[in-house]
Amino acid sequence: MKSAYRQMERSWKSPKEMEGWKAMLIQFRREGTVTRAESPTRIGRARELGYKAKQGFVIVRVKVPRGRRKTPKPAGGRRPKASGRFYPLMKSFQVVAEERAQRKFPNLRMLNSYWVGEDGINKWYECIMVDPHHGSIKSDKNINWIVSGKQKGRANRGLTSAGRKARGLRHRGKMG
């Protein structure tokens, strides 16, 4: 017999075939760019990444626009070749989502994040954030490492899993 979490995660392998996928995306579009969620959309994935259903843990859903980023048009005369304006970011949309959530909730610490959906215009990620001042976090020996002052602004310094991947630090010892 397979666990319920494993079955839920198996349905996320092909999310467009899930029941209620379109309705979920419509709801996400109506929300703001950074919104606090009541509970994780993908509970199995959230628990894999360290989420616990207790006080002090916060789930934040972030919307990031897809596509390349536009740079300002250069002032002054230039040949057309020099006015390239659309450049790819050197970090993933997931890292951008984590940074936005960190900016919106500066009193919380970023633990991790995961993908929850995308359409032609946006991508959505859910970020697991932790309140370092909450008593239940301070007393939990598995997560109280995040209370230390060194963990401030983890997302902005590329210390989360997605940030480390963007910096090329995810797989040690593998060449090529």
Distances, alpha carbon 43 to alpha carbons 11, 50, 60, 139, 158, in Å: 12, 11, 13, 23, 25
Structure confidence at residue 114 as a pLDDT band (50, 70, 90):
very high
pLDDT in tens, 62-83: 999 998 888 887 787 777 777 7
Structure confidence at residue 159 as a pLDDT band (50, 70, 90):
very high
Bridge-based pairing state of the strands 86-87 and 69-70? antiparallel
**What's residue 171's pLDDT?**
75
CB burial of residue 111 (10 Å; 0-12, 13-18, 19+): buried
What are the structure tokens assigned to 26, written together?
């419509």
The domain spans of the chain are 27-71+81-162
- State the Cα–Cα distance between residues 2 and 98, nearest whole angstrom: 32
For residue 116, is pLDDT > 60?
yes
What is the fold of 27-71+81-162?
Ribosomal protein L15e (3.40.1120)
pLDDT in tens, 37-68: 999 999 999 999 999 999 999 999 999 999 88
